[in-house]
């Protein structure tokens, strides 16, 4: 059985990948296995996802103009991103947002981060979500005429707002 990538060498590496009920057997030669991202890293390769995006179409979904678009921050062209499966910098996420959005949705089945936030950056984000929470608690406290609690919350809110202004 010939290697599925180079189609020259005999395939000596094979693995079975089963993702959400679809089974694929992959056969590679020793050389290509070293560079194949599935065996090279545990991560799911990006290139195949760009083609997976539009299984019905016979041509690639990335037009020439799209491929030429560059990120102003790192200079990487979108075409490069598709072929190497990697972005150049954090800015790329903003620059190519619309194209990446569909891809992210496909891989993760979601488009919004709900996990932890970084300890350092947390300050601003945490403050904002705390504010939202305290404000709604304040409303409830006032409605239920629990004025002591309301006062406590009001002071907390003032404290956070003050800190945010100072930053």
Contacts to another protein by CB under 8 A: 12-21, 23, 30, 33-35, 39-46, 49, 74, 76, 84-90, 93-94, 100, 103-104, 107-121, 125
Residues 6 or more apart in contact with residue 13 via CB below 8 angstroms: 27, 28, 29, 30, 33, 39
Q: In the bound complex, what is the minimum distance in angstroms from residue 124's beta carbon to another protein?
A: 10
Looking at the Cβ atoms of 12 and 146, the one nearer to another protein is: 12
Q: In the bound complex, what is the minimum distance in angstroms from residue 162's beta carbon to another protein?
A: 23
Q: Please measure the distance between the N-terminal and C-terminal CA atoms of the chain and give it in whole angstroms.
A: 63
Task: Give the phi and the psi of residue 96 in degrees, each rounded to 5.
Answer: -105, 25
Looking at the Cβ atoms of 119 and 145, the one nearer to another protein is: 119
Looking at the Cβ atoms of 49 and 142, the one nearer to another protein is: 49
> Residues 11, 28: contact at Cβ < 8 Å?
yes
Looking at the Cβ atoms of 42 and 143, the one nearer to another protein is: 42
Q: In the bound complex, what is the minimum distance in angstroms from residue 63's beta carbon to another protein?
A: 20
Q: In the bound complex, what is the minimum distance in angstroms from residue 51's beta carbon to another protein?
A: 14
Q: How far is CA 125 from the centre of its chain?
A: 19
Looking at the Cβ atoms of 44 and 147, the one nearer to another protein is: 44
Q: In the bound complex, what is the minimum distance in angstroms from residue 32's beta carbon to another protein?
A: 11
């Amino acid at each position: 059985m010939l290697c599925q990538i180079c189609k020259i060498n005999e395939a000596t590496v094979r693995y079975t990948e089963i993702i959400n009920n679809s089974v694929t057997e992959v056969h590679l030669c020793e050389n290509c296995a070293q560079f194949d991202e599935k065996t090279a890293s545990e991560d799911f390769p990006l290139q195949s996802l760009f083609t997976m995006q539009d299984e019905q179409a016979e041509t690639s979904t990335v037009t020439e103009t799209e491929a030429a678009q560059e990120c102003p921050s790192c200079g990487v062209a979108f075409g490069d991103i598709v072929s190497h499966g990697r972005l150049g910098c954090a800015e790329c996420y903003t620059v190519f947002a619309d194209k990446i959005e569909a891809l992210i949705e496909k891989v993760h089945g979601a488009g919004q981060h709900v996990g932890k936030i970084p300890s350092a950056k947390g300050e601003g984000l945490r403050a904002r979500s705390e504010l939202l929470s305290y404000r709604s608690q304040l409303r409830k406290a006032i409605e239920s005429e629990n004025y002591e609690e309301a006062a406590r919350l009001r002071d907390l809110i003032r404290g956070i707002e003050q800190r945010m202004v100072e930053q």
